[in-house]
Chains A and B, each alone.
Chain A
Amino acid sequence: MAGIPPAPSPGVVGKKPARRCAEVCLELLCAESVRLFHDKQSGPAAAAALEAVGYRVGQQLAERYTRDKPRLGDTLEIIKFVCKDFWLALFKKQVDNLKTNHRGVYVLQDNGFRWLQRLSPPAPGADPGREEAARQLALSYLHLPCGIVRGALCHLGVTCTVEADPKQMPSCTFTIRIMA
């Protein structure tokens, strides 16, 4: 369980254990931020605003998580860093599959995207209308993580766009297109 910090062992005197936050707080914050932005602004503007928030957070997280790492060389190394260490720190697992067409498009597949875990997927065999509605809802939750990934990549020197596609919830693919 990520939430409860362990009781300090008797041998350790004076050193406070690192403070931690329960994961449910992050989940509630994400859900509420999606609701808040969509209430205040209409569709595309809310999406852009959430993406912008994610962008700033991504830049700051890139600073923090690359801090003690050896120098990342080319674009592929940076993408692999995002797939492994960055994803691990942010979503507690690594990206499951990375594909590229070697021409500037990378597709990251996460078979259990953590920030979509709380969205109930449409029942199998449900009508397409309901599936589409569920997909749209999932998309609204993906603007923030897309922004985070884009912010991190741009801050590491890879200018790109990031799009998410919640194919089979909670599995999700992220498509990174490098801008020349």
Chain B
Amino acid sequence: MGIACVAFIGPQNNPMYLRSIDPASDDLYMKLHYVVHCSLDAVEEKVLLKRGPGDSQDAYLGLLYPTEDYKVYGYLTNTHVKIIVLLDDEGTVKDEAVMRVFRRLHGLYVDTASNPFHKFGLPLSSPRFDGAVDGIVSIYRGAGASQGGFMT
């Protein structure tokens, strides 16, 4: 229940970070890579759709598309970095909660990119980053649990 996977994709559609929150087998990782990869098309579609004059030009893209196991949510920064979050919540999902998670993930990415040793385009591999992502994900999980879902 809650966030199953967090992914950051760079401006050239290069995967920078993909992490399954629960420990995952290689097969599951392949599946997650596939789902995230497909979601990039959905991101582009959403952006094109939102180009109308009345639409809010926001970074949060909302639900991109539902698969059989997950709901895929997207977020596009001004620097063309895409943040994809896979939820396996069965009940209704609160948009504000997901938006909050995205904002914090964006903030984390900005702080990480501000590191003088950071190289753009390369994958993000840092235990501190992993820990921070865990922290953000656990906040969402906490919020979801308080809405009365079953926790197995």
Residues in B with CB closer than 8 Å to A128 are none
> Is the CB of B28 closer than 8 A to any CB of chain A?
no
- B110–A156 CB distance below 8 A: no
A62: nearest chain-B partner, CB-CB: B79
Residues in B with CB closer than 8 Å to A11 are none
Residues in A with CB closer than 8 Å to B77 are 63, 66-67
C-alpha spacing A170/B125, complex, angstroms = 44
A70: nearest chain-B partner, CB-CB: B57
> Is the CB of A33 closer than 8 A to any CB of chain B?
no
C-alpha spacing A104/B57, complex, angstroms = 25
- A66–B113 CB distance below 8 A: no
> Is the CB of B80 closer than 8 A to any CB of chain A?
yes
C-alpha spacing A62/B113, complex, angstroms = 10
Interface size classification for chain A: 10 to 19
Interface size classification for chain B: 20 to 34
- Other-chain residue from A60, A70, A71, A73 in contact with B113 (beta carbon distance below 8 A): A60
Determine chain B's interface SS by DSSP, over half rule.
Answer: loop
C-alpha spacing A72/B79, complex, angstroms = 9
- B78–A69 CB distance below 8 A: yes
Residues in A with CB closer than 8 Å to B57 are 70-71, 73
Given A60-B114, A72-B78, A157-B11 in contact, is the A67-B106 Cβ separation under 8 Å?
Answer: yes
- A70–B114 CB distance below 8 A: no
22 pairs, A vs B, C-beta closer than 8 Å: A56-B116, A59-B120, A60-B113, A60-B114, A60-B118, A62-B79, A63-B79, A63-B109, A64-B110, A66-B78, A67-B106, A70-B56, A70-B58, A70-B59, A71-B47, A71-B57, A155-B79, A155-B120, A156-B80, A157-B11, A157-B79, A157-B80
Taking beta carbons and an 8 Å cutoff, which residues of B are in contact with A?
11, 47, 51, 56-59, 76-80, 106-107, 109-110, 113-114, 116, 118, 120
Taking beta carbons and an 8 Å cutoff, which residues of A are in contact with B?
56, 59-60, 62-64, 66-67, 69-73, 155-157
